[in-house]
Amino acid sequence: MEATFNLNKRYTFADYLEWADNVRREIIDGMVKMMTAPSSRHQRISTLLTVRLFNAIEENKGKCEVYSAPFDVRLPKNGEKDDHLIHTVVQPDICVVCDSSKIDDKGCLGAPDMVVEIQSLSTSKIDMNDKFHLYEMAGVREYWVVIPSEGVVVFILQPDGKYDDGTKYDSSTIPVHIFNGIEIELDVKK
């Protein structure tokens, strides 16, 4: 069935599950945000980073799991678990979840430990504003914004529940803070 919806109406994850048209979209605080297919460069960076994160976890016998889009992450307020009460579901380009109890057949319920968003012209405002604040409020411990041809900005959640000012890495070796001492080789300038 093709989804029809009002861009001014507030939706829930239960509504989202009814849209069986395979169109990519997210719901942020109940409002629908349409998504487009990523570019080939975006996909190359996503695949490379997913593999590098996966390998780092495996090599260090970690218990975290890496997921790449499309993968639904439900970010409830006040710990809701009922699909009718959840008003935010996003599809980060990559996320790392270290608490296996957050994973179910629908994706992830609760904040991943790490989220990576790869910017495009159409997502830069959303990634640096809307999702920045969303992930901060949800408690995502580490947030990477990959800017193709420029580098990666890494934000770390501080004890006060706010992200730091971010550290920009042009390319080369980037520390993964949720994995103490592990670094990832990444060149987004290619």
Check residue 190 and give its pLDDT.
66
Three-state secondary structure of 20-57: CCCCCEEEECCEEEECCCCCHHHHHHHHHHHHHHHHHH
Model confidence at 5, pLDDT cuts 50, 70, 90, reads low
pLDDT digits (tens, 9 = 90+) for 150-182: 899 999 999 999 999 999 998 678 999 999 888
pLDDT digits (tens, 9 = 90+) for 9-30: 889 999 988 887 778 888 898 9
pLDDT digits (tens, 9 = 90+) for 37-83: 888 888 999 999 999 999 999 988 888 999 999 999 999 988 889 89
- Residue 122, pLDDT above cutoff 80: no
pLDDT digits (tens, 9 = 90+) for 127-144: 777 899 999 999 999 999
pTM reported for the whole predicted model: 0.91
Check residue 3 and give its pLDDT.
56
Closest CA to 49 of 146, 139, 121: 146
Q: Is 170 exposed, middle or buried (0-12, 13-18, 19+ CB in 10 A)?
A: exposed
Cα separation, 154 vs 142, in Å, equals 7
Sketch out the chain's domains with CATH numbers.
Answer: 39-72+90-186 (3.90.1570.10)
- Residue 2, pLDDT above cutoff 60: no
Run of H or E including 173: strand 172-176
Contact predicate 165/186, CB 8 Å:
no
pLDDT digits (tens, 9 = 90+) for 86-110: 999 999 999 999 999 999 999 999 9
